[in-house]
Every structure is written in C-alpha cells, then in structure tokens.
Chain A
Amino acid sequence: MESAQELGDEALVALCQQGQGQCFEVLVRRYMEKAFHIAYDFTRNKETAKDLSQDAFLRAYANIKRFDGRSSFYTWFYRIVVNLCLDHARRNGRVIWESLDQGTEESGTPRQLVDGQHQPDQEAIAGEANRRAAATLESMPNKQRTAFLLRNQEGLAIADIAKVMKTTEGTVRVYLHRAVAALRQSLVEFV
C-alpha cells in the first residue's frame, strides 16, 4: 500500500478495474474530506453528510469498471456525490440549514463575517450578515447553489464544475454570478 499512495488517480482506478480492490482505499483516503464537505454543504448535518459521502464511495466502487477515463476520476466521483446530495434534497424537500450564527456543531462558536475588533454593534452586524448569507444560500436554486458550493467551498475549477454538472462553462459562470448577485441583494439594505 506504501507505493499505491504515490500513484495518481488514474493508475489507482486502473488497478481497481483489474481486480485490485484494495487500491480503492487510497482513493477513499484521498477524497473522503472533500466528499464529506460537499455533502455537509448540501445537508448541514454531520451524520447525513457521512452517510451520503460514504454511499458515494460505495457507488463509485461498484461502478469502477464503467469509469472510462473520459473525465478525471475526481470529476466523475464528484458527480456521484452531488447527484446523491441532490437526490437526498429532493426526497427530503428543502434543505434545512442551521442558521450559521448558531455556529457549527463542532466549534460551537459563531464564525464572524466581519473581521476586526469585535465591538458589540459589529458582532450584531456580523450575526445578521451570517444569517442573511445562510438564507441566501438556502434560497438559491439547486443548480446555482451546486455551482456555487463546488467553486466556493470545494475550489473546483469552472471547467470541472461544468463536467460535474454536465453543463457548459458559460452556464457555470452565469450560476456563479447569480449566486453573488443574490448575496448582494440580500445584503443591500444591510448596514
């Protein structure tokens, strides 16, 4: 396994396809944090995010022989994660987002949108901005939110997001711009 860790995704996939299933574990290690974080961004729930992202690995492994290398492994895999998340969202209705100013489950402390000295009014402003940012993200159409989360949270290049979402780069650019416009709109009467 020592050497497998140094192999690229494509080489690992090829080994899996030849029956060396244990090589898939390297891919799990490599992508588990990203897979979990995407699912978390969609669900805002740790347990659900864990289940969904693990399901994505199961599905990827079960279909590894169908992976034809036309896209990179990670765009193929991200598509599986995103599809599972969207299915989940469809089955469960609107994604229920915890208000961001409640903080995350782990840290328990609110993240501040406004940097600098935390005078009371600034903290109130930051809390309000957080709340609005969360509401904005929640109210975005699914495709817009998907594009935004993949770029903003996961750092995927627009070209890769287009592959994951099976759309054009131009469309992804439009989604990103609309996401920012929606955020601006929600902050327009703010301060």
Chain B
Amino acid sequence: MENRSAPLIGACKNYEEDLVLYYYGEIGASEGGAIERHLAQCSPCGKFVADLGHLLPQMAPKPELSQPFWDSYFRETVAKLDAQAERQNWWRRWLAPMNGWLVPAFGTMAVALLALVLVLEKGYLPSFTDTTSANIPAEVLVDSNQLEFFKSLDMLESLSTLEEQDGAKPERKTSREGDSQVA
C-alpha cells in the first residue's frame, strides 16, 4: 500500500513541539521567524503543520445550532437566574428578623464566656455588684460583637450558597417569556 498520507509523521523531532505552538499562534516573533525559515526548507515539517490544520479543527466538531435554540437558551437561562434570585431573596427575608436578634445574642454569649474564662483564670468571683461587662475592656466588647457580627454574615453567605447550589432544576416561579400568567 502506498504510504501517501500517514498524518503527523516525519517532522523533525526537535521542531515538533514548537510546530504545535506555531500552529496555534503561540510562538513569539523571534522564534516564529526561525520556524518559518525551517518550514521553508523542510517539507516533512511543512506537511506536519498542514496535517495539524486538517486534523485538529475536526477533532470534535461542534453541533450547528439554530438561532431559535440560542434564543430559547437565553430565555431559559434568564428564567433560571430569576428563580435563583427569588429563592435568595426568600432566604434573606426569612433570616432578616433572626439576624436582628442573633447578633446581640451571640455577642452576649461571647462576653459571658470571656468573663467566665477571666473569672476561672484569676480564681476569684466578682462581687454581685460588678456586672460582667464592667470587668471587660471596651475594645474587647466591641471586638467580640464585631466578630460575631461577621460570623453571622458568613452564615448568611453560606446559606445562600447552599441554597444556590441545591437542585439543578429549580422550580420556575418567575414568568418565562412565552407562558403568560398561568397562576
């Protein structure tokens, strides 16, 4: 059998890698010049680049899709985005009142714990007239409040992330173009 076109065979070994990059336009101008000079005088390397040009674009043909496909793809994506935003808002609304009391609650708890630690470390019990917070420097109070505030924000974030990620097929609550006023 005539060995007319075994593809991608016979390029100079030390050029092969550069030829792939050259084909993809990923070679700098100076190296590009050297490769072109080599290509001008080396037919196996020339054939190698030509083979790349034949073979690579067809490795995985893309489906040819019509404009209506893209239009409906776009509408569907926007509907999914709306549904996601809707659910996110629902979580936020639901958590909003909780956020109002969670922050001070966490803050108070942190202060109480800190006080307990201080008490245990120092080995004495404060008199009942001392309030726990009075024993703690103001900066500590502020910091622990802020810390818990940031933590509760994190919780909101991760809840919304979880909510975003649940279910690949969210129910479509928002109206899609096309199906008008079903509810």
Contacts and interface: CB of A to CB of B under 8 A. Distances in A.
B59 A188 contact: no
Interface string B54-95: 111111111111000010011011101100110010000000
Contact of A32 (B3, B60, B77): B77
Residue of B1, B52, B60 contacting most chain A CB atoms (<10 Å): B60
Given A54-B77, A114-B54, A104 B63 contact: yes
B63 A184 contact: no
Contact of A106 (B26, B60, B65, B88): B65
The 3 closest A-B pairs by CB, nearest first: A184-B8, A62-B164, A106-B63
Interface string A25-60: 100110011001100110000100011001101110
Contacts of B54: 113-115
A82 interface: no
A46 B16 CA distance: 35
A79 interface: no
B172 to A, nearest CB: 12
A61 interface: yes
A51 B168 contact: yes
B70 A32 contact: yes
